[in-house]
Amino acid sequence: MTPEEFLGGLGNAKLLAIIRGSEAQAAVRTAVALVEEGFTHLEVSLNTVEAAGVITAIQAEVGAAAFIGAGTVLTRDDVARVAAAGAQFIVTPALAPSVAEAVRLDLPVLAGSFTPTEVYSAMDQGAAAIKLFPASLGGPRYLSALRDPFPDVPFVPVGGVDQGAAVDYLSRGALGVGVGSPLIGDAASGGDLAALRSRARQFLSAAGLQQ
């Protein structure tokens, strides 16, 4: 997947589901449920138990129905490991060595940044888009402030994004939003999948992707 394809797909999807859990099989079931409900972009955090295996297993379950990326990717070794597992894009929490390594391997990278200097540096290194993190510190108004000097930078706010914040960020020009615990809850650690499906439909509806 090229950076252009990644940006186009996430721009249409609007929602990036962030899966982080303490049970590998529960994380896989969570991903499958999300795809069945209509999510097409999923990130598996490397904090998830057996994360690389989870990425591979999700790919086997959902096939071409969704794009599966790896999150909390910090080192060059992390990039190599998740690329071998089949990750189609990389998400970082900061301007780590993983950014340049993902670019070198032609993997689209959503680079974690917060300040204007970090935003500029990430894009200069070849990031496809900026993961505005932790977005909750500045909120939607901070996104608007950043977009004034960086009108062409694709921003994806992550961190504390509930349904209301998702709508606000998207209305202020975010390419998409990353949603973690407000969506996933405890599902990826063995929790209630029915409740997850309900939350998934609510998020999709709030983003205008489902009636």
- Length of the chain as a residue count: 211
Environment class of 194 (CB within 10 Å of its CB; exposed 0-12, middle 13-18, buried 19+): exposed
- Specify whether 14 is catalytic: no
DSSP, res 158: B
DSSP, res 96: -
Contacts of 83 (CB under 8 A, 6+ apart): 105, 107
DSSP, res 124: H
Please give the structure tokens belonging to residue 202.
Answer: 């609510």
Choose, from 43, 50, 101, 118, the residue flagged as catalytic. Answer: 43
- Specify whether 131 is catalytic: yes
| Closest listed residue to residue 96, CA positions, set 75, 117, 113, 81 | 75
Choose, from 14, 23, 101, 131, the residue flagged as catalytic. Answer: 131
**Helix, strand, coil % (nearest 5) of the chain?**
50, 15, 35
CA distances from 36 to 64, 105, 123, 187, 200 (A): 12, 30, 33, 15, 10
Catalytic residues: 43, 131
